[in-house]
Amino acid sequence: MDRKKIFSAVDHTLLLQGATWVEIKQICADACTYETASVCIPPSYVKRASDYLAGRIPVCTVIGFPNGYQTTAVKVFETQDAIANGAAEIDMVINIGDLKDRAYDRIEEEVRQIKAACKEKVLKVIIETCLLTDEEKIKMCEIVTSAGADYIKTSTGFSISGATFEDVELFSKHVGPKVKIKAAGGISSFEDAEKFMELGASRLGTSRIVKLAKSEQSL
């Protein structure tokens, strides 16, 4: 697969707690160089990054991150604030406890409210697959589809493991035709990125793909 196609699927990500503005600005510059799909950064940096990028690359940020157990009202406010600051894409974390409790209507209503707050902006729903059974993953495919979100996303990258080929393959079989797939967490090679895309992922949440390309150029 052409590397340009892989870069165009990458949400170039930096979400570490200690991330500085200098580091955020650098991943923004790198995203422009490699023409990635977006930069995915903490909410506190959205305004500065949006001003710095001036529309060259979309800014993505995270909501209810990384644990997902904020109230719906808080997540909706976070979403509105992020969009007001220039975010073009929102990656929200579901309340995993609600899923374990089979409170499916509550989860769907939360996704619907956040999608309404997004308006025409892109909404990706992180379900943290490493904590779920296959039954729960399939149920979330149904909920994300019904709620009208744009993407289902595997992982935060902050739990016990990240994306797997098996999970993306499972998503591909169970999401509706309008729902896309984002694989995130642990994508560490161009070969892995290509396989995730071949299995159905159209976005990749990773910091390593651009780093790999930069390291190759420095050799």
Q: Which residues are catalytic?
A: 91, 153, 182
Nearest-CA neighbor of 185 among 153, 157, 151, 152?
Answer: 157
Q: Strand pairing of 38-41 and 59-63?
A: parallel
Burial class (CB in 10 A: 0-12, 13-18, 19+), 114: buried
CB-CB contact of 193 with 187 (8 Å): yes
CB-CB contact of 66 with 158 (8 Å): yes
Distance of CA 54 to the CA centre of its chain: 21
